[in-house]
Amino acid sequence: MSNFEGQVAIITGGAQGIGRAAAEMLQNGGARVVLWDMDLELAQSTAAEMGGDTLAFAVDVSDWANVQAAAAATQEATGRIDIMVNSAGIAGDVETVENYPVDHFAHVVAVNLLGTFHTNKAVVSAMRAQGYGRIVNIASIAGKEGNPNASAYSASKAGVIGFTKSLGKELSDLDIAVNCVTPAAARTRIFDQMTQAHIDFMLSKIPRGRFLEVDEAAAMITWLCSKENSFTTGAVFDLSGGRATY
């Protein structure tokens, strides 16, 4: 386990799922964790269960003003921001492009892609001032391969991959690493937004024959957040159980 003593880690979507698993692993390494989540009640419950000095803020990552305010409140409360794990996201409708509601498509992009832009943008200045930082964005294998009947989700996650590469290059002259992971499906609350047929389709595409465990994702995320990850930036790390073809 890497040493995160004295560091502050923001986890968006940190109240449950992969975000919570990463938050707990970072906390076990000594980091002070700040949970940003739409569901404040759940985030506060998670923070209480994690104990220590864990903080929780209600944050809609699709709202730039809300994200700015949360970043300012986090810095005021903790004095610094060292790590951002951007795990907030939604699956959206399971529907063909022909029948996909235009407003729903825009909402998925607003949360998954604009939300990534907002949360990353909000912490860069603090990291630049410190000369140090680690950002990990949660994309998806769907962003590489494109899942049928999930065009909004696939397109938004492809955007997260491209955005991560761009920001990683912008900050490559500093000790600020910006990377993303592309998980296959993990059985989290996001499954509640999907049909059983779509869940079965995703499982059929994974050569290991099972879904990703959240602790497996957290282990990779935690390393990407560590000081040991001192060279890699703008990169994509697969958690696809053998599904990825590139």
- For residue range 81-121, what is the model confidence (pLDDT) as tens digits? 999 999 999 999 999 999 999 999 999 999 999 999 999 99
Q: Residue 145: what are its φ and ψ, rounded to 5°?
A: -105, -25
Neighbours of 201 (CB within 10 A): 17
Q: Answer whether residue 224 shows pLDDT above 70.
A: yes
Give the pairing type, strands 83-86 and 8-12.
parallel
pLDDT at 190: 67
Give the C-alpha separation, 194 to 155, whole Å.
17
Q: In whole angstroms, how far apart are CA 110 and each of 17, 64, 153, 191, 223?
A: 21, 10, 11, 20, 28
* pTM attached to this predicted model: 0.94
Mean pLDDT of the chain: 94
Q: Answer whether residue 194 shows pLDDT above 80.
A: no
Considering 100, 132, 153, 246, which one is annotated as catalytic? Answer: 153
| Whether residue 153 lies in the annotated active site | yes
| High-pLDDT (> 70) share of the chain, % | 98
Of 109-123, 168-182, 202-216, 218-232, the least confident: 202-216
Nearest to 10 by CA among 39, 41, 42, 43: 43
Tell me the H-state helices in the chain: 17-28, 40-50, 64-78, 102-109, 115-130, 142-145, 151-170, 196-204, 214-224
CA dihedral for 164, 170, 171, 172, sign (positive or negative)? positive
Give the pairing type, strands 32-37 and 8-12.
parallel
CB 175 within 8 A of CB 236: no
Instruction: Name the amino acid, one letter, at 169.
Output: K
Compare 38 and 246 and report the one with higher pLDDT: 38
- pLDDT band at 162, cuts 50/70/90? very high
Q: Answer whether residue 193 shows pLDDT above 80.
A: no
Compare 168 and 210 and report the one with higher pLDDT: 168
Mean of the pLDDT values across residues 49-78? 97
Neighbours of 172 (CB within 10 A): 12
Q: Residue 185: what are its φ and ψ, rounded to 5°?
A: -65, 140
Which domains occur in the chain, in start order? 8-237 (3.40.50.720)
Mean of the pLDDT values across residues 111-134? 98
Of 39-48, 50-59, 181-190, 225-234, the least confident: 181-190
Give the C-alpha separation, 54 to 221, whole Å.
19
pLDDT at 191: 67
- Backbone φ/ψ region at 181: left (φ over 0), alpha (ψ -120 to 50), beta: beta
pLDDT at 139: 98
- pLDDT band at 198, cuts 50/70/90? confident
pLDDT at 1: 59
